[in-house]
Amino acid sequence: MGRPGRILVAEDDALSRASLAELLASEGYRVATAVDGIEALGKLADFAPDVLLTDLWMPRLNGIDLITRARAAVPSLEVLVMTACVQDVVDEALQQGAFGYVRKPIHFGQLTMFIAGALERRQTRLNARG
């Protein structure tokens, strides 16, 4: 990839958002955060994330709508969902293009495995285009 993976974390809970950002940065990722889907959309162009890690229930723009709009803006973006939601909402997120999901409370080891897989998938897709 040539540079550290870039992760955009969209999470309305301040403690969760800060904790995730700190843990991901400690793993060598470049991390940006957003308090909701609207802020996350605003950071897509400037930050150029490889992976969007998003909660589903956020104010102003929920995770499902964020996935749809973010993937339309950046088709190569991989999306991982964080949720404590029921399965049908998770299924909708997957139908909108999410790579996978992790259940809250988040097990960090599982999350980093999903991120590594998302980054690998993104790179494979970009190589196939190129």
How many other CB atoms are there within 10 angstroms of residue 114's CB atom? 20
pLDDT value at 114 more than 80 = yes
Between CA 103 and CA 112, with CA 106 as vertex, the angle to 5 degrees is 105
* CATH architecture assigned to 6-129: 3-Layer(aba) Sandwich (3.40)
pLDDT digits 0-9 by tens, 55-105: 988 999 988 999 999 999 999 999 999 988 766 777 888 888 888 888 888
All structural domains of the chain with their residue ranges? 6-129
pTM across the whole model: 0.90
pLDDT digits 0-9 by tens, 6-23: 999 999 999 999 999 999
Residue 56 buriedness (CB in 10 A; 0-12 / 13-18 / 19+): buried
